[in-house]
Amino acid sequence: MITVYADDHMLHSGLLDPRGDTWGPSAECPERANNIVRAIRDQGFGTLVEPKIFEESRLTRIHTPDYLQFLKDVWGEWLESDEKGANARPETFVGPGMRHADSDCIAGKLGRYSFDSTTPFVAGSWQAIRTSANIALTGADLLQGGKRQAFALCRPPGHHATESCCGGYCYLNNTALAVQSLLDSGATRVAVLDVDYHHGNGTQTIFYERNDVLTISLHADPRLEYPFFAGFADEPGTGAGHGFNINYPLPFGTNWENYEVVLGAALDEIRRLGPDALVVALGLDTFAGDPTTHFAIETGDFLKMGERIGSLSAPTLVVLEGGYSVEHIGENTVNFLAGLAGS
Ligand SMILES: [Zn+2]
């Protein structure tokens, strides 16, 4: 197993989340990635490589040019504005009856290009976001070069980001960028299996009208859990993409015994497609000890999850998404990868 990693993610630090009436450190913190790479090094698990640097044209295969310009400029414009705060974040969003109008001020731009307020910017955010995308694209290149498996240790994560909107700690959709890269270099069918606790709404919407990408997500029921407005079972895709999106919303308390049954159904769908490559959007926030979520997957279960997915024997790129138990995220990730590699 080859892991693609860079320290640039640490530039995206000092992020704040609301804590009732005040603010506290964001759950999406540098220690997440630091502890995963430490666990990989400590266990001597495979090799670590640096990401390559890719042209911006690779990003515009998924994201709009105006959104990319916003991501580049947001921090500088925040500093030059009258807005105050250590994190640049939106307060006003586009609702029904309003327009996605161009805005000349940073408060307007933040609202236009965000769908929630959990996705702030600091001085080093763009560099970290850009490198995270490069990590995913490097992982795709490894598969294109003949590797059977690779792990893109991406931070910040990406699966909530749409073509022109950030949200849910995500800015560029690393998983979607990797999928598109695989298709652009010769793959005809790619499957995405999103096992993050939260629905991968960004990945779903990006590929929703397409039949060259099968998107499958297992996640907490959006009637009770973020992102609330996508991830229901009756979202099959549209147009040519009808039948190429499958959602498995699951109840709070889902444990491995229950999860494994649904995962088996998802793997059957992927087998039926027979994709040229599989991209796993790996969230470790299904973990029973995750402080932010409500599933009951145990540390040992991640090994079995990796084994089950590995049984597909497809060329597989794993892209890191969420997971907020800083203490256990390293062991859980290595268990998943070991299961995948060993099956
Ligand atoms: Zn998540």
pLDDT tens readout for residues 309-329: 999 999 999 999 999 999 999
* Whole-number percent of the chain with pLDDT over 70: 100
Q: Cα(264) to centroid of ligand 1, in Å?
A: 21
Beta bridge partners of 48: 3
pLDDT > 90? residue 100:
no
| Candidate list 159, 160, 199, 294, residue with the active-site label | 160
How many A from CA of 197 to the centre of ligand 1?
A: 5
On the 0-12 / 13-18 / 19+ scale of CB atoms within 10 A, 99 is exposed
**160 belongs to the catalytic site:** yes
pLDDT at 343 over 80: no
Residue with tokens 């497609």: 273
Mention every residue, 6+ apart, whose C-beta is less than 8 A from residue 40: 3, 46, 48, 153, 330, 333, 334, 337
What is the predicted pLDDT for the residue at 19? 86
What tens digit of pLDDT does each residue of 202-214 get?
A: 999 999 999 999 9
- Whose structure tokens read 């203490």? 327
For residue 186, is pLDDT > 90? yes
Q: How far is ligand 1, taken at its centre, from the CA of residue 186, in Å?
A: 30
> If pLDDT is split at 50, 70 and 90, which confidence band does 102 have?
confident
Mean predicted lDDT score pLDDT of the chain: 97
Q: Would the pLDDT of 37 be above 90?
A: yes
Task: Report pLDDT digits (tens) over 254-271.
Answer: 999 999 999 999 999 999
Task: Return the beta strands (E) in the chain as ranges.
Answer: 2-4, 16-19, 22-25, 47-49, 149-152, 190-194, 213-220, 245-250, 277-282, 316-320
Task: Give Rg (Cα) of the chain.
Answer: 19
Which residue has 């995220």 as its token pair? 329
- N- to C-terminal Cα separation, the chain: 13
Q: For residue 293, how far is its CA from the centre of ligand 1 (angstroms)? A: 8
pLDDT more than 90, % of the chain: 97
Longest dimension (CA), the chain: 56
Residues 6+ apart with CB under 8 A from 230: 199, 201, 204, 205, 222
Distance 196 CA to ligand 1 centre (A): 5
Q: Under 8 Å CB-to-CB from 200, ≥6 apart: which residues?
A: 159, 160, 175, 192, 194, 215, 217, 219, 281, 321
Q: List CB contacts of 268: < 8 A, sequence separation 6 or more.
A: none
**214 by DSSP, 3-state: which?**
strand
Residue 84 has pLDDT above 70, yes or no: yes
Mean pLDDT, rounded, for 105-128: 97
Q: Is the dihedral of CA 76, 67, 162, 276 positive or negative?
A: negative
